[in-house]
């Protein structure tokens, strides 16, 4: 439709508003089409952004696997350090004016200060272990899709074994009701709350997968075997534990990589709060320091505040297992542990001869110079001896809390006979926590299945 408006003198005819608008909005339509249709103008590149397609190849899959291994290497130190502080492996060394609250709470098992709802709690257990779960989940997808077939099985075995380790460590250390979160299909996956035993079974399933897909790699297969045996022992299924560990050679070791973990567990890593090698902590702790056991090497500790070496007291010593800056590794699973589990199974079968011979075989062959053999301490203290041997063989490796809880839950010991109690040298009464809580506030914020905190006295 066309029309005319008259302007000025009336002699001049001008184009219409209507026509102008038709023209204008037609141009808008064209521009809109260009905006949407000219997708090429909006194509950009970014060589610095690694996208999924960039790593959908064998090397990318391996790099993802190595990232999971790295997460494992990073987790072992903090997890083991937390266990050491919570248990009798390490203890205070000073009047402690600068002994900050979270660590003091950890050392004293103070559930009031160190409670599950404490948002300031930095969660040294669940966080690094969840990271193992998330990185292994991502890596497993990458390895399944892109790894070379010659190594795919072993890579998967390693990754599933790492998941088994993470879940076992959660179950041993954390109070029940924790989540096992991870990443699935590029998004967070939040699990239901796990009880301790259900988590061990979850771990065994992962380790079964590892054992089923692994081929000839004794390293990963044996790693999974030891972990599986450990999980069965935690469940009190000692026969299954013995079966799982039987094929593991005594000289087998699965350790963190040199250069990453050592500093975490070294003296350097503990300089922010003062701790010495544990020595009969709380009256029931083991004498890690004063026994001068070659498996727990220590030296006189320079007292932090007095700035002099305490050569009078025989108790305050620095651990030397992990030397600052040295090439120390953390042995997470080993043939030694396999033998110890078999010994425990023998003891459970009331076979003290096999139990003792197994322990003495380790003392003679797994350390140089050989340690003197043990004599049978008699039925009343065999269990103590068995757990003491485990504690010294696996000092500062993150096993101790699981063992102590096992003494309570599987062997019926009162927690006061296992965990330090009474008055802490700071003048504080030891708390009653027998497991480490996770950060409930954080967990419940994201995970709808976590509605109550866990009970560290469990």
| SS3 assignment, position 177 | coil
Q: How far is the CB of 207 from another protein (least distance, A)?
A: 20
Q: Find the binder of another protein among 148, 212, 239, 305 (CB under 8 A).
A: 305
Q: Find the binder of another protein among 1, 149, 272, 307 (CB under 8 A).
A: 307
Query: Can you give the length of the chain in residues?
Result: 458
150 binds another protein (CB under 8 A): no
Nearer Cβ to another protein, position 16 or 297? 16
Q: Are 275 and 99 in contact (CB under 8 A)?
A: no
Q: Specify the stretch interacting with another protein by CB under 8 A; choose among 46-54, 202-210, 235-243, 368-376.
A: 46-54
126 binds another protein (CB under 8 A): yes
Q: Are 190 and 447 in contact (CB under 8 A)?
A: yes
Q: Find the binder of another protein among 187, 312, 353, 368 (CB under 8 A).
A: 187
Angle between helices 335-348 and 218-234 (to 10 degrees): 30
Q: Specify the stretch interacting with another protein by CB under 8 A; choose among 9-17, 105-113, 278-286, 342-350.
A: 9-17
Helix or strand (DSSP H, E) at 67: helix 58-86
Q: Specify the stretch interacting with another protein by CB under 8 A; choose among 109-117, 251-259, 286-294, 379-387.
A: 251-259
216 binds another protein (CB under 8 A): no
* Interface positions, 413-452, toward another protein (CB under 8 A): 439, 442-443, 445-447
Q: Are strands 193-194 and 178-179 parallel, antiparallel or unpaired?
A: antiparallel
User: Pattern of binders to another protein over 100-119, x per CB under 8 A?
Assistant: x-------------------
32 binds another protein (CB under 8 A): yes
CA atoms lying within 13 Å on the CB side of residue 104: 16
Nearer Cβ to another protein, position 64 or 173? 64
Cα distances (angstroms) measured from residue 341 to each of 152, 225, 351: 30, 11, 13
Q: Specify the stretch interacting with another protein by CB under 8 A; choose among 182-190, 337-345, 353-361, 378-386.
A: 182-190
β-bridge partners, 184: 187
Query: What's the CA gap between 72 and 256, in Å, rounded?
Result: 8
**The pair of three-digit structure tokens given for residue 359, joined into one six-digit string:** 């322990």
Query: What's the CA gap between 83 and 264, in Å, rounded?
Result: 13
Q: How far is the CB of 155 from another protein (least distance, A)?
A: 11
Nearer Cβ to another protein, position 292 or 306? 306
Q: Residues binding another protein: what is the number (CB under 8 A)?
A: 82
Q: Find the binder of another protein among 190, 300, 392, 455 (CB under 8 A).
A: 190
Q: Find the binder of another protein among 7, 311, 353, 375 (CB under 8 A).
A: 7
Q: Are 441 and 435 in contact (CB under 8 A)?
A: no
Q: Find the binder of another protein among 1, 2, 41, 312 (CB under 8 A).
A: 41
Q: Are 95 and 433 in contact (CB under 8 A)?
A: no
Query: What's the CA gap between 349 and 202, in Å, rounded?
Result: 26
| SS3 assignment, position 429 | strand
* Interface positions, 53-72, toward another protein (CB under 8 A): 55, 59-60, 62-64, 66-67, 69-70
Task: Please report where in the chains the tokens 């023998």 appear, as a residue.
Answer: 346
Q: How far is the CB of 176 from another protein (least distance, A)?
A: 18
Q: Find the binder of another protein among 102, 127, 300, 371 (CB under 8 A).
A: 127
Residues in contact with 406: Cβ distance below 8 Å, sequence separation at least 6, in sequence order: 233, 234, 236
């Amino acid at each position: 439709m066309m029309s005319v408006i008259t302007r000025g003198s009336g002699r001049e005819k001008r184009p219409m508003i209507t026509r102008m608008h038709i023209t204008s909005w037609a141009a808008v339509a064209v521009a809109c089409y260009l905006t949407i249709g000219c997708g090429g103008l909006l194509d950009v590149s970014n060589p610095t952004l690694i996208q999924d397609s960039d790593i959908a190849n064998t090397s990318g899959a391996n790099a993802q696997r190595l990232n999971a291994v790295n997460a494992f290497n990073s987790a072992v130190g903090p997890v083991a350090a937390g266990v050491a502080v919570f248990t009798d492996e390490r203890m205070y060394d000073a009047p402690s004016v600068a002994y900050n609250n979270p660590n003091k709470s950890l050392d004293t098992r103070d559930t009031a200060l160190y409670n599950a709802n404490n948002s300031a709690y930095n969660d040294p257990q669940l966080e690094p272990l969840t990271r193992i779960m998330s990185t292994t989940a991502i890596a497993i997808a990458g390895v399944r899709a892109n790894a070379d077939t010659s190594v795919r099985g072993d890579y998967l075995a390693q990754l599933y074994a790492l998941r088994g380790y993470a879940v076992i460590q959660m179950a041993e250390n954390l109070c029940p009701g924790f989540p096992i979160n991870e990443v699935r299909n590029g998004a967070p996956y939040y699990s239901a709350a796990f009880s301790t035993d259900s988590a061990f079974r979850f771990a065994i399933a992962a380790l079964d997968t590892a054992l089923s897909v692994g081929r000839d790699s004794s390293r990963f297969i044996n790693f999974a075997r030891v972990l599986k045996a450990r999980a069965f022992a935690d469940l009190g299924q000692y026969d299954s534990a013995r079966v799982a560990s039987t094929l593991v050679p005594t000289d087998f070791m699965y350790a963190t990589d040199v250069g990453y973990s050592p500093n975490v567990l070294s003296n350097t890593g503990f300089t922010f709060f003062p701790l010495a090698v544990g020595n009969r902590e709380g009256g029931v702790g083991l004498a890690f320091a004063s026994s001068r056991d070659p498996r727990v090497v220590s030296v006189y500790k320079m007292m932090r505040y007095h700035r002099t070496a305490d050569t009078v007291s025989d108790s305050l010593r620095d651990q030397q297992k992990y030397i600052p800056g040295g090439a120390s590794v953390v042995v997470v699973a080993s043939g030694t542990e396999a033998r110890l589990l078999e010994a425990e199974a023998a003891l459970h079968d009331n076979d003290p001869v096999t139990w003792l011979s197994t322990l003495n075989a380790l003392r003679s062959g797994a350390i140089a110079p050989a340690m003197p053999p043990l004599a049978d301490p008699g039925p009343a203290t065999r269990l103590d001896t068995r757990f003491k041997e485990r504690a010294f063989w696996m000092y500062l490796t993150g096993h101790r809390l699981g063992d102590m809880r096992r003494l309570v839950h599987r062997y019926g010991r009162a927690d006061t006979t296992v965990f330090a109690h009474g008055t802490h040298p700071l003048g504080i009464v030891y708390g009653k926590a027998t497991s480490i809580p996770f950060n409930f506030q954080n967990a419940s914020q994201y995970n709808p299945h976590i509605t109550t905190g866990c009970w560290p006295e469990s």
